[in-house]
Structure 1
Amino acid sequence: MKRRWSQLLFFAVLVLVFGLVVGGPLSDVSRYGETGVNSTDSVTVTFVGSDGVELGQITGPIADTWTERRTGLSDTESLDPNEGMVFVYEDEGTRAFVMRNMSFPLDIIFVGEDGQITAIYHAAADADRHFSAQARWVIEVNQGYTDTHNVSVGDEVQGLPR
């Protein structure tokens, strides 16, 4: 009888923990909805050339949790011309991105701890490859944005969230 009670208690605790993590207050999905993107937090960042001239600005949501970063823009149909998403990490490291479930192409901009662009990739929708570089932040914008605004590796990004 004692063993049965301990088994029932173990099962109850397991169900409670599972409920908190999957659908409760510990779940990113419960905080941010099904897409995982917190659309209430947005940021405007400015691209500045090596000569100090402003090259352009984008505004968009911040992805700073694991769920938000994993989902990214994959449930988005399109972006406005000066819109994007800023992925935020705690520190600089090697970041790898894929075009999972994307319906439109992107420029993927990797930004180091010092705010300088370390790499730019032009990624086709549903590209079957990883895009990686050293970064503390990664910015996704419509493909062609970096060419149109002359944004290149070594340029600075200002206004990045910490």
Structure 2
Amino acid sequence: MRSKFLFLFSFLFLLATISGQAAEQRKLLLKRNLSIDVEVVTTREDQRMGLGNRDSLANGQGMLFLYRNSGEHRFWMKRMKFAIDIIWIYRGKIVHIEEAVPPPSFLTPDRLLPIYGSEVTSDMVLEVPANYSTKIGLTIGDTIQFKP
């Protein structure tokens, strides 16, 4: 009985430790030597959640989705509470920007949510506050890189 309790306690502790791990924080170098702080998400679970259920995202901050394989990485705004710019990146260059993508009404069923990023090949996707890409002058072809 004691060994079962110890096993259960150890398992729950391990589970809490794993699920409580924070995403990696990095700096991305953008146009004109401007850098932003990004939360890097690499797991499917974190990527599925994205910025959903968060209240806001400050200027100078973003979420970067890193993928093992390049491909069509599509996004929707499920559980989003604020508008964002979505920036697709392939081999370090911006290939597509969706500006000021609005959050859906809470009454919108999942099956009716718009899908963004169809027919865009990327290996990274960056989400930043709405209109931030225009504010700092990001355009297709600009280089994005990790800041050392």
TM-score if structure 1 supplies the norm length? 0.71
Q: Does 1:103 align with 2:81?
A: yes
Q: 2:96 is aligned with what amino acid?
A: A
- Supply the distance in 2 between the matched residues of 1:67 and 1:117 (Cα, whole angstroms): 25
Q: Secondary structure at the match of 2:37?
A: strand
Q: Distance in 2 between matches of 1:24 and 1:39?
A: 16
Name the amino acid aligned to 1:120: I
Work out the number of aligned pairs and report it.
128
Counterpart selection for 2:116 from 121, 131, 139: 131
Listed as ranges, the gaps of 5+ residues in structure 1 are: 1-19
Per-residue CA deviations over 1:98-145 (Å, capped at 9, x if unaligned) read 011100000000000x20001000211128311112110000000110
With the length of structure 2 as denominator, give the TM-score of the two structures: 0.77
Counterpart residue number, 1:70: 48
Moved over 4 A (4+): none
Separation in structure 2 between the aligned mates of residue 82 and residue 145 of structure 1, nearest angstrom: 8
Name structure 2 gaps, 5 residues minimum: 1-10, 106-112
Work out the percentage of aligned pairs sharing the same amino acid.
Answer: 24
The residue that corresponds to 2:98 in the other structure is 121
RMSD (CA atoms):
2.4
Match of 1:43 among 12, 18, 26: 26
